[in-house]
């Protein structure tokens, strides 16, 4: 039996097409016929009716039909479906024979041609005798036919021809040989369809009656198939015909499912398939040939999977829970089952040979009926006719089955399934199938491939923490690595199988551990259980070869990818260490294996590799026998107990401020001279399961069980994989003495006092003082610092004064002066660095220490200066007039919490202003307490300017001041205040009055008004004096006059006061006719408006004065 025995016959799987025979066409010599044939065959697209055409000679011999039988009972004993049947009906017996005949309606020799045509039809009919084949005639005509009904000759002759040929009118066609050949052909074909719906649904016998519809009538054919299917199952089934029934059921099921998929009813297909499987699952048949059943089952699933997959390729959408993968998977399952059964049923004694004569040989070389036994074809009774023959036959089948490469079948199916599940987002299913594939490869002794697959999926199970599954995979992987003599893999898998992730029993773990130790001692390990014996032999010799230590014998296992039986945690004792104390590092190691295990080396790698030498625990003795007991004990890991190894080293002074990290911890098992494995914990701890365990432990509320002395609870060990080396704690004190707040621009004095509490001399003391870096950039520009307080800082002084060398420490003070040019708070830093020698662990080191002191300094303005321009009448001035005197007033308001002494003040006028008298400071030597105010004023005037009105600068005001402090000598600070600009205006006419300071009732009061023309023009001036109740007066009451350029006009009035007290003077109205915008009011501002009038007094009373 070939492995293809279970495959479906190709006739079954192909798309069924109606077979139509064309006769009467001479495609070789007749061009017209050729064109017709090409039109039939060319461009057979999917939308055209699926028909297979064949040109046959008119007298072609069709397969002979047997004589009609009267009863169907007759068939039963023979079999169900003959093997040649499908081919016959697909390719040999036509459903329709089309006879082509050249004949025009008006052919002159109509009669003769008609009878010739009738003869041809008769010949075809004869050769098809008994077949249910229809015959049609096509007349090839040269003339285009007239529309139906118009050509009377044609219709008459057509009916005559039909009569002669015994054809119905529907079976006669006319094919005019014109340009539209293809169009006609297509029409002809569609007529065919109509035809075929009657003609081609021929009832074929599958079982009793199965309608095989090679055409498009899916629903109909599907119904027939379903009937056939149920009929197959109604057949009496017994051991002898079970295979035949199942074969047939499989065929029909295939057809139904296929039609359902084509018809886009996949659920029907699935339901049918389920039904099919449920019905056939239990029909095992002969127990001796049970593998046949599983093979058949496997094939059922596989072909359904194929159908499903094909439908998907044509546009069907599958889902995660219903995709072809499941069917392939099930097919693989049955294939595995088959393998197992074959293993049980076909493991004959070595003496058993293939029987001769071959019972599977048939005279024709093939079977007559599907699913029958070659040695008893056609036999249908319940008992086999010849029991000896039966035995021989079964033996032959069993022997054949033995040679089948089951694993290959299984693997092929599994890989099909894997591809499907990958598509439908089933990663776990995929992994599972890959495990199965791996196991199958293992059984097929392809260990390399097995290991590759298993190794690939192992990590998924590991990260998902399915230990039971991981253990099972690891066991298989271990077997593979053992059988291949792969040392590294063997060690890796052993380590994991011994560890906490493995669910193996203690004794199994113990066995593995013993083997591991053997491997490490360079011995041959014991074979793994349940391994193939011949493979074990090969493996043993492989391992023996490795004793010579040929090849690589140093293995490194990166632990983070596995869960080995040794766990490790390395930690620094503290997150930071001072340079003058030793750095301490603890490494905790614990084994989970059943027996104690000894290691030969433990080393810690740190980020600065110079320290590695201090973190090394090594088996110093090279020979095993002369081990010191203490070392031996120390380097032995007892299962379940946590061992702690302490390392200590002195950090280098250049590492101050740096981080030291544990890059890895290595543990060496085995011997350095021989074979060894190096477990490497990156970062000093953790394997594939650790992070989860740490999380669980941290969440746990469980009270830690108290462990006896010197034993540790593993979970409580925390990780500290890096540490900082920091400088030695300084033993000095830094004190700052000052009087905050600072005043803007002053030289603020701070005194730094450094006192050493060191045991030895503190050398090279350096003070760095100033603005703490990292603050607002504007502060850097507005802060200056110096050690010299005698002069005010300028921009050349830095904000941070580094490394003020103070030499070896003499207890003392250092005054510093800080110049803050803006207000606000700023942080000042005082950094004192020095070096001192110290002894750590017997090593002298020169430690650099430093102490930082910071202080926040508030800066405030010492005083506010307010300035204003006032007229000589102390009236506020918005603008000043050329050559008219005015006052500049300063108010200095102290804002400082400390008293301020004003040393001097000075006005430095701009060129646009001149002092009228010698300006002298009026506040010199004044001391202002908080919120006190000092004022001074200066009499000034502005010389004329070129153009009428402009804004002029006034100049600067300098105040020299200092903080009045008993604490330290302070220097004088000169604060510059810029005087405000002022509007300067020309005035065309200046009026001023000359009058006594007071008047007296009824005494003449002479008032002289001066009018000055300040322009280069002659001015017309109108002057009037308004009357007043308080005065009588004499003089010009109203006058109009001209004043020459630069000239001055004097007007004299005699006022005669009538009332005492402050009296309003008679108002002088001046109108400038040339300058109408200079109003009388403006000019009046220069004139006094009131005067104090004394009452008529007694003689000698002259002491009262006007204010």
Q: Give the residues lining the site for other proteins (CB under 8 A).
A: 277, 320-321, 326, 330, 333, 425-429, 432, 435, 461, 464-469, 472, 692, 695-696, 699-702
- 938 bridge partner residues: 888
Q: How far is the CB of 469 from other proteins (least distance, A)?
A: 6
The number of angstroms, rounded, from the C-alpha of 504 to the middle of its chain's C-alpha atoms is 39
Q: How far is the CB of 329 from other proteins (least distance, A)?
A: 9
- Find, among 350, 360, 232, 230, the residue nearest to 289 by Cα: 360
Q: Are the C-beta atoms of residues 170 and 188 closer than 8 Å to each other?
A: no
Query: Is the Cα dihedral 88, 90, 91, 97 positive or negative?
Result: positive
Q: How far is the CB of 292 from other proteins (least distance, A)?
A: 19
Distance CA 836, CA 324 (A): 80
Give 277 or 882: the residue with its C-beta nearer to other proteins.
277
Q: How far is the CB of 503 from other proteins (least distance, A)?
A: 10
Q: Give the number of residues written for the chain.
A: 1107
Distance CA 95, CA 116 (A): 24
Q: How far is the CB of 485 from other proteins (least distance, A)?
A: 27
Give 215 or 339: the residue with its C-beta nearer to other proteins.
339
Give 105 or 461: the residue with its C-beta nearer to other proteins.
461
Distance CA 7, CA 14 (A): 13
Distance CA 367, CA 939 (A): 141
- Find, among 413, 551, 422, the residue nearest to 487 by Cα: 551
Q: How far is the CB of 460 from other proteins (least distance, A)?
A: 10
Question: 399 CB contacts (<8 Å, ≥6 apart)?
Answer: 346, 348, 352, 353, 354, 355
Helix H, strand E, coil C: the string for 450-508 is HHHHHHHHHHHHHHCCCHHHHHHHHHHHHHHHHHHCCHHHHHHHHHHHHCCCCCCCHHH
Helix H, strand E, coil C: the string for 251-312 is HHHHHHHHHHHHCCCHHHHHHHHHHHHHHHCCCCCCHHHHHHHHHHHHHHHHHHHHHHHHHH
Give 282 or 876: the residue with its C-beta nearer to other proteins.
282
- Token look-up 């987002």 returns 425
Q: How far is the CB of 423 from other proteins (least distance, A)?
A: 13
Give 673 or 695: the residue with its C-beta nearer to other proteins.
695
Q: How far is the CB of 168 from other proteins (least distance, A)?
A: 54
Distance CA 459, CA 297 (A): 34
Q: How far is the CB of 480 from other proteins (least distance, A)?
A: 18
DSSP H or E run through 1022? strand 1019-1025
Number of Cβ within a 10 Å radius of residue 351: 5
Give 389 or 428: the residue with its C-beta nearer to other proteins.
428
Give 702 or 843: the residue with its C-beta nearer to other proteins.
702
Q: How far is the CB of 427 from other proteins (least distance, A)?
A: 6
Give 463 or 930: the residue with its C-beta nearer to other proteins.
463
Q: How far is the CB of 432 from other proteins (least distance, A)?
A: 5
Q: What is the largest CA-CA distance in the chain?
A: 184
Q: How far is the CB of 313 from other proteins (least distance, A)?
A: 23
Give 696 or 760: the residue with its C-beta nearer to other proteins.
696
Give 692 or 1042: the residue with its C-beta nearer to other proteins.
692
Phi, psi of 949 (to 5 degrees): -125, 140
Give 29 or 701: the residue with its C-beta nearer to other proteins.
701
Q: How far is the CB of 336 from other proteins (least distance, A)?
A: 12
Q: How far is the CB of 571 from other proteins (least distance, A)?
A: 23
Q: Are the C-beta atoms of residues 132 and 68 closer than 8 Å to each other?
A: no
- Token look-up 């005509």 returns 141
Give 109 or 468: the residue with its C-beta nearer to other proteins.
468
- Token look-up 């219709």 returns 155
Distance CA 302, CA 297 (A): 9
Give 63 or 427: the residue with its C-beta nearer to other proteins.
427
Q: Are the C-beta atoms of residues 602 and 616 closer than 8 Å to each other?
A: yes
Give 151 or 715: the residue with its C-beta nearer to other proteins.
715
Question: 996 CB contacts (<8 Å, ≥6 apart)?
Answer: 1005, 1006
Q: How many CA atoms lie within 13 A of 565 on its CB side?
A: 31
Give 75 or 467: the residue with its C-beta nearer to other proteins.
467
Give 43 or 696: the residue with its C-beta nearer to other proteins.
696
Give 688 or 836: the residue with its C-beta nearer to other proteins.
688
The number of angstroms, rounded, from the C-alpha of 1019 to the middle of its chain's C-alpha atoms is 92
Q: How far is the CB of 335 from other proteins (least distance, A)?
A: 14
Q: How far is the CB of 695 from other proteins (least distance, A)?
A: 7
- Find, among 900, 894, 893, the residue nearest to 965 by Cα: 900
Distance CA 792, CA 557 (A): 71
Concatenated DSSP letters for 666-719? EEEEE-SSS-EEEEEEETTB--TTHHHHHHHHHH--PPPPP--TT---GGGPPP
Concatenated DSSP letters for 135-195? EEEEEEESSPPPPTTT-HHHHHHHHHHHHHHT--GGGEEEEE-STTHHHHHHHHHHHHHHH
Structure tokens at 1068: 């002088």
Give 146 or 695: the residue with its C-beta nearer to other proteins.
695
Q: How far is the CB of 2 from other proteins (least distance, A)?
A: 28
Q: Alpha-carbon Rg of the chain, whole angstroms?
A: 61
- Token look-up 């199942």 returns 246
Q: How far is the CB of 251 from other proteins (least distance, A)?
A: 22
Distance CA 613, CA 650 (A): 12
């Amino acid at each position: 039996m070939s492995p293809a025995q279970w495959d479906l016959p190709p006739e079954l799987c192909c798309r069924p097409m109606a077979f139509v025979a064309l006769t009467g066409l001479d495609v070789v010599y007749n061009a017209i016929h050729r064109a017709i044939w090409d039109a039939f065959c060319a461009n057979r697209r999917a939308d055209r009716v699926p028909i297979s055409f064949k040109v046959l000679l008119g007298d072609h011999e069709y397969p002979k039909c047997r004589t009609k039988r009267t009863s169907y009972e007759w068939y039963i004993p023979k079999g169900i479906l003959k093997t040649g049947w499908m081919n016959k009906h697909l390719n040999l017996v036509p459903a329709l024979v089309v006879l082509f005949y050249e004949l025009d309606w008006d052919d002159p020799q109509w009669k003769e041609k008609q009878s010739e045509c009738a003869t041809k039809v008769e010949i075809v009919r004869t050769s098809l005798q008994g077949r249910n084949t229809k015959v049609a005639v096509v007349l090839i005509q040269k003339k285009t036919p007239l529309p139906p009904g118009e050509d009377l000759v044609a219709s008459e002759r057509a009916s005559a021809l039909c009569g002669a040929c015994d054809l119905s009118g529907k079976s006669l066609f006319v094919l005019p040989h014109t340009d539209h050949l293809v169009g006609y052909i297509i029409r002809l074909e569609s007529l065919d369809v109509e035809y075929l719906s009657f003609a081609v649904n021929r009832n074929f016998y599958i079982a009793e009656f199965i309608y095989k519809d090679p055409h498009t009538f899916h629903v109909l054919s599907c119904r027939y198939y379903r009937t056939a299917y149920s009929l197959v199952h109604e057949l009496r089934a017994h051991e002898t015909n079970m295979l035949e029934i199942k074969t047939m059921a499989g065929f029909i099921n295939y057809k139904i499912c296929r039609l359902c998929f084509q018809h886009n009813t996949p659920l029907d297909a699935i339901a049918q398939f389920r039904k099919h499987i449920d019905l056939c699952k239990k029909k095992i048949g002969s127990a001796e040939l049970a593998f046949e059943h599983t093979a058949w089952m496997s094939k059922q699933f596989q072909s359904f999977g194929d159908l499903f997959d094909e439908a998907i390729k044509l546009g069907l959408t599958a889902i995660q829970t219903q995709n072809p993968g499941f069917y392939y998977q099930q097919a693989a399952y049955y294939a595995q089952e088959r393998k197992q059964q074959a293993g049980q049923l076909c493991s004959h004694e070595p003496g058993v040979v293939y029987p001769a004569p071959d019972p599977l040989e048939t005279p024709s070389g093939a079977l007559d009926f599907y699913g029958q036994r070659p040695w008893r074809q056609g036999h249908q009774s319940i008992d086999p006719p010849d029991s000896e023959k039966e035995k021989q036959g079964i033996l032959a089948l069993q022997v054949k089955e033995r040679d089948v490469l089951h694993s290959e079948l299984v693997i092929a199916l599994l890989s099909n399934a894997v591809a499907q599940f990958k598509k439908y987002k089933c990663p776990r299913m995929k992994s599972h199938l890959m495990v199965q594939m791996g196991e199958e490869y293992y059984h097929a002794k392809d260990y390399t491939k097995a290991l590759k697959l298993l190794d690939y999926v192992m990590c998924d199970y590991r990260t998902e923490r399915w230990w039971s599954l991981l253990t099972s995979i690891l066991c298989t992987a271990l077997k593979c690595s053992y059988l291949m003599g792969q040392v590294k893999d063997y060690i890796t898998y052993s380590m994991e199988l011994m560890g906490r992730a493995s669910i193996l029993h203690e004794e199994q773990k113990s066995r593995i551990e013993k083997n591991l130790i053997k491997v490490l001692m360079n011995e041959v390990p014991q074979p793994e259980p349940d391994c193939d014996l011949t493979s074990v032999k090969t493996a043993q010799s492989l391992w023996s070869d490795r004793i010579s230590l040929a090849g690589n014998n140093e293995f490194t296992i990166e632990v983070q990818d596995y869960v080995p039986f040794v766990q490790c945690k390395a930690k620094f004792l503290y997150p930071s260490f001072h340079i003058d104390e030793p750095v301490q590092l603890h490494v905790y190691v614990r084994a989970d294996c059943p027996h104690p295990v000894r290691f030969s080396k433990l080393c810690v790698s740190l980020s600065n590799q110079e320290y590695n030498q201090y973190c090394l625990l090594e088996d110093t003795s090279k020979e095993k026998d002369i081990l010191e007991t203490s070392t031996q004990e120390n380097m032995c890991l007892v299962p379940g107990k946590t061992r702690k190894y302490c390392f200590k080293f002195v950090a280098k002074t250049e590492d101050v401020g740096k981080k030291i990290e544990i890059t890895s911890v290595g543990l060496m098992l085995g011997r350095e001279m021989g074979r060894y494995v190096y477990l490497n914990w990156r970062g000093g701890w953790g394997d594939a399961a650790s992070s989860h365990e740490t999380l669980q432990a941290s969440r746990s509320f469980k009270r830690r069980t108290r462990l006896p002395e010197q034993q540790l609870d593993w979970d409580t060990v925390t990780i500290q994989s890096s540490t900082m080396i920091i400088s030695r704690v300084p033993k000095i004190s830094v004190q700052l003495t000052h009087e905050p707040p600072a005043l803007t621009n002053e030289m603020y004095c701070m005194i730094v006092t450094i006192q050493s509490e060191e045991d030895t001399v503190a050398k090279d003391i350096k003070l760095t003082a100033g603005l703490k870096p990292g603050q607002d950039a504007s502060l850097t520009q507005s802060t200056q610092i110096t050690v010299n307080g005698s002069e005010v800082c300028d921009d050349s002084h830095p904000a941070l004064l580094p490394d003020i060398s103070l030499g070896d420490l003499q207890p003392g003070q250092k005054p510093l002066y800080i110049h803050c040019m803006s207000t606000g708070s700023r942080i000042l830093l005082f950094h004192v660095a020095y070096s001192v020698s110290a002894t750590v662990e017997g090593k002298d080191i020169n430690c650099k220490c430093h102490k930082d002191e910071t202080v926040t300094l508030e800066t405030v303005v010492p005083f506010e200066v307010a300035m204003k321009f006032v007229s000589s009448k102390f009236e506020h001035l918005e603008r000043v007039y050329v050559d008219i005197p005015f006052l500049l007033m300063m108010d200095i308001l102290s804002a400082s919490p400390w008293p301020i002494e004003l040393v001097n003040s000075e006005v430095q006028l701009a060129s646009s202003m001149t002092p009228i008298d010698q300006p002298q400071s009026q506040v010199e030597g004044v001391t202002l307490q908080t919120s006190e105010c000092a004022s001074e004023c200066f009499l000034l005037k502005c010389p004329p300017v070129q153009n009428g009105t402009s804004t002029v600068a006034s100049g600067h005001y300098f105040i020299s001041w200092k903080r009045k402090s008993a604490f330290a000598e302070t220097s004088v600070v000169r604060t510059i205040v810029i005087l405000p600009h002022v509007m300067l205006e020309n005035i065309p006419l200046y009026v001023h009055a000359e009058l006594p300071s007071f008047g007296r009732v009824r005494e003449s009061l002479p008032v002289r008004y001066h009018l000055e023309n300040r322009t280069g023009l002659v001015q017309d001036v109108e002057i009037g004096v308004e009357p007043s109740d308080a005065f009588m007066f004499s003089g010009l009451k109203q006058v109009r006059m001209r004043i020459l350029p630069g000239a001055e006009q004097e007007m004299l009035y005699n006022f005669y006061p009538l009332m005492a007290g402050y009296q309003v003077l008679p108002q002088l109205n001046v109108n400038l006719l040339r300058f109408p915008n200079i109003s009388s009011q403006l000019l009046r501002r220069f004139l006094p408006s009131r005067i104090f009038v004394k009452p008529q007094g007694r003689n000698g009373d002259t002491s009262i004065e006007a204010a």
